[in-house]
Amino acid sequence: MIAIIDYDAGNIKSVEKALLYLGQEVKITSAPSEILSADKVILPGVGAFGDAMEKLKERHLDDVIRKVTEKGTPFLGICLGLQLLFERSDEAKGVEGLGILEGEICRIPACEGLKIPHMGWNSLHLEHNGRLFKNVDEQAYVYFVHSYYLKAKDENIVKASTEYGVHIHASVEKGNIFACQFHPEKSSEVGLQILKNFVELEER
């Protein structure tokens, strides 16, 4: 069973729909026991970094997420779910992220001709043989909606990047932990392939 963590941070149904299309058993849940016993776990998210961290802590899901990642369960953060895995964000000064991965979330700089939030399709540059990108072509297009971007401390965990006025770390992988700034569930056939690669992962 794949658990989708429910913490009132949006975009859950589209993730569920994509996984059901791939023939997976899916449970939207905030119950620690269900999340901890799941075969795989997804942390989606649309919204503000500070509000999301507050909601996770209110439900004690921050500790649950740490336990899941520590015990080797394949874990996928999507959009805000990626950002929350890191240490801090320009969007919420003074608010600590989950700190499971090292790095910071920065505001996309204002550039002439580029709208913020970054909303739309961008191509990916694939790096370091990321397991999420098996059978995905270099320069494949995926769908983004964000005003903040990841700058990972260790660039070796970065498996895909893109450009939007700045170099953006678009996807990371470290052991059993995976995350995408873009929305695979909204990225057509490419996104479905990425999700398929995730559901076919074995625990390490």
pLDDT category at 203 given cuts 50, 70, 90 is: low
Considering the chain, what percentage of its residues have pLDDT values greater than 70? 99
Domain 2-199 listed as CATH 3.40.50.880: yes
Q: pTM to 2 decimals?
A: 0.96
Q: Does 163 qualify as catalytic in the annotation?
A: no
- pLDDT of res. 113: 82
- pLDDT tens sequence across 112-121: 788 999 999 9
Average pLDDT of the chain to the nearest whole number:
95
Q: Does 173 qualify as catalytic in the annotation?
A: no
pLDDT category at 147 given cuts 50, 70, 90 is: very high
**Active-site residue, selected from the candidate residues 16, 79, 146, 173:** 79
Domain residue ranges in the chain: 2-199
**Active-site residue, selected from the candidate residues 118, 146, 169, 183:** 183
3-state secondary structure the chain: CEEEECCCCCCHHHHHHHHHHCCCCEEEECCHHHHHHCCEEEECCCCCHHHHHHHHHHCCHHHHHHHHHHCCCCEEEECHHHHHCCCEECCCCCCCCCCCCCEEEEECCCCCCCCCCEEEEEECEECCCCHHHCCCCCCCEEEEEECEEEEECCHHHEEEEEECCCEEEEEEEECCEEEECCCHHHCHHHHHHHHHHHHCCCCC
- pLDDT tens sequence across 2-32: 999 999 877 799 999 999 999 999 999 999 9
Q: Does 79 qualify as catalytic in the annotation?
A: yes
**Active-site residue, selected from the candidate residues 16, 91, 173, 185:** 185
- pLDDT tens sequence across 151-199: 999 999 999 999 999 999 999 999 999 999 999 999 999 999 999 999 9
